Amino acid sequence: MGHLGPGLTGRAEGVVGEGDTALALGSGDVRVLGTPALLRLAEAACVNALENRLNPGETSVGVEVRLEHLAPSVPGQKMEAVADLNRVEGRKLFFSFVVRDDAGEVARGEHLRVVVERESFLERAARRSRGD
């Protein structure tokens, strides 16, 4: 694992599209940002915080999330997620995040990622899918 410690920050930006709505994602029946799309943006910010920080052959995978979706965002609104690495315990990386749109805070939460060796992780996933 590369040098990882509290204080790393990552950002991810986007614009709410029709495909990001709860209606399109099947997570509701309204044309506002769906929680799955919001989580995707928050996770991207966490991943961006780790850019060029992991050793070659390593990646991180999300294993747990706590998310408060506080306000609706409509298609066309600009979004920004900011994630901060708060704690490292071995291969476990504990992040907090905030997501904002043009009108203010939309969501906040915590996300746990684990650093894994990419090839062995993919091999394990393939074995599992085959039922080995």
Contact 13, 99 (CB under 8 A): no
Local structure of 111: helix, strand or coil: strand
- What's the pLDDT tens digit per position in 87-131? 999 999 999 999 999 999 999 999 999 999 999 999 998 888 888
Average pLDDT taken over every residue of the chain: 95
- Rounded-to-integer distance, Cα 34 and Cα 110, Å: 18
Query: What is the pTM assigned to this prediction?
Result: 0.93
pLDDT of residue 105: 98
Average pLDDT over residues 42-56: 96
Contact 65, 112 (CB under 8 A): yes
